Structures are given as C-alpha cells and as structure tokens.
Amino acid sequence: MRIVIAEDTAILRAGLAELLGVRGHEVVGAVGDGDSLLTAVDEYRPDVAVVDIRMPPTRTDEGLRAALQLRERRPEVGVLLFSQYIETRYATELLADRSAGVGYLLKERVADIDEFVDALDRIAAGGTALDPEVVTQLFGASRRTHSLDALTPREREVLALMAEGRTNAAIADTLVVTGRAVEKHVANIFTKLDLPPSDTDHRRVLAVLRYLQS
C-alpha cells in the first residue's frame, strides 16, 4: 500500500514511517503541515493518507481541515486521522456525509502495530476505522443510553465493534463466536434500535453514529 504521512513532530513522523515500512507498506511521502499534505497526495497518489490533527500553523485542527479537503478533492484516497487525545466532534465532522475510507485513531494505537495496520487495511478497502475510545465516548455522551439498555451485554459489545467499523468476520474473531451468531446479533440490534437497514459495513457505522448522536 502506498501511504503519505502528515505529522509535524519529526520523531513521530520518522517512527511511523519505519513501522509502516517494516510491515511492507510504501511510505511515498512524509510532510509536516496541511498544505504540503494536499500537494503530496496530488503528486504521489497514495492509497491512504495518515494525518495528524494538530499541525502548524495554529496547531488546533489543521489536519482535520486538510483531511476534509482531501475527501472532497480525491475521494478515492483513504484518510486515517489520528490525534493524541479524543475529540468526538472531529470524528463526527469527518464522518459527516459518508464514512467510506475514513478512520480516526488515537496516536497511542500505533503501539499496537497489528491494530493499526488492520485499520489501514480497512480504510484502504473502503471501510471505516474508529478508535474504541472514540466509540466508548460516543456511547457515554449519547442521550440514548436508556434505549441501549434494551440490548443484551453481548449485543452491546457487537454494537461497539460495529461502530468501530469492523466487519462481521472481524467481530466474530474478536468475540470468539461464529459468523452466524454475529449476524443474528446484528439483526436483533437493528430491530431493537429501529435502525435503517445498511448494506455495507461502513454505512452501518454511520447509522449507529447517527443514532447515538440524535
């Protein structure tokens, strides 16, 4: 996979490049701010852009702005945003109209290289990758907590993993159950929460998030 990294802290940029390289990905560009990111994507045509939210000049949400511009200009490029702390509002903005090929992870997630690379793969394939921390916060901040009580604990686990953007197969692996069991849980969840039917994994992420935030 061809990857462009946008991260202003030099040691992290170098570290990420090395990690991704070790896992067999090609880091074709590593930049330090939003404008350079757009130029690099235009030039190198990567599959995924890994973008830090906090970048110069104001170090607030340049990365997010650049990522949204990228989504508009080059929708075929997947975007993985990462930051050192959770801001659920960023996740919402990023997923605003569509959730295909988009992800939001905590920087510390890179410490678990397998998860990180899995997230990248999901995004490159057009899926979604949300950090479990983000999902937990969204659940906690949701006003729908009492309707979530209608779900069994197992169903809530499945819902959380669904919100992270995982496929049924991945959920089955994580919970150590069969694929059919997962499908049944998903169907029950959609019925109990009265969610609109979704044909793809990333669309159901949107459905769940919209439900949580309404």
Partner 1 sequence: MDSRTWRSALYALVYLPLGAVAGYLLLLLLAAGTLLSLTFLGLPLIALVLTCWRQFGRLHRRLADVLLGERIAAPHPLRPATGRLDRIGRRLGDVVAWRAVAYQIIKVPQSILAATVCLAPLAFGLWSATYPIWWSVVPENSGRHKHGFPIDGFYFDTWPRAFLICVAGLLVLAAWPWLLRGVLVLDRLLARGLLGPVRMSQRISDLEQTRALAVEDAAATVRKIERDLHDGAQARLVSLAMSLTLVQDTLRRDDVDLTRARTLVDTAHQGAKEAIAELRDLVRGIHPPVLDQGLEPALRTLTARSTPPAMVRFDLPTRPSPAIETIGYFCAAELLTNATRHSCAKHIDLTAKMTGGLLVLRIVDDGDGGADPAGGTGLAGLRARVRTVDGRLHIDSPPGGPTIVTVALPAHPAGG
Residues at the interface with partner 1 (CB under 8 A): 9, 11-12, 15-16, 18-19, 22, 54, 59, 84, 107-108, 110-113
Residue with Cβ nearer partner 1 (51 or 70):
51
CB of 27 to partner 1, least distance (A): 14
CB of 128 to partner 1, least distance (A): 23
Residue with Cβ nearer partner 1 (68 or 117):
117
Query: What is the Cα–Cα distance from 137 to 134, expressed in whole angstroms?
Result: 5
Q: Are 166 and 174 in contact (CB under 8 A)?
A: yes
Q: Are 51 and 23 in contact (CB under 8 A)?
A: no
CB of 117 to partner 1, least distance (A): 11
Closest to 95 (Cα-Cα) out of 42, 135, 136: 135
| 3-state SS record for 101-135 | CEEEEEHHHHHCHHHHHHHHHHHHCCCEEECHHHH
Query: What is the Cα–Cα distance from 121 to 118, expressed in whole angstroms?
Result: 5
Residue with Cβ nearer partner 1 (110 or 186):
110
CB of 18 to partner 1, least distance (A): 7
Residue with Cβ nearer partner 1 (109 or 192):
109
Residue with Cβ nearer partner 1 (12 or 125):
12
Residue with Cβ nearer partner 1 (121 or 157):
121
Query: What is the Cα–Cα distance from 72 to 70, expressed in whole angstroms?
Result: 5
User: Phi, psi at residue 127, to the nearest 5°?
Assistant: -95, -160
CB of 115 to partner 1, least distance (A): 11
Q: Are 130 and 136 in contact (CB under 8 A)?
A: no
CB of 210 to partner 1, least distance (A): 31
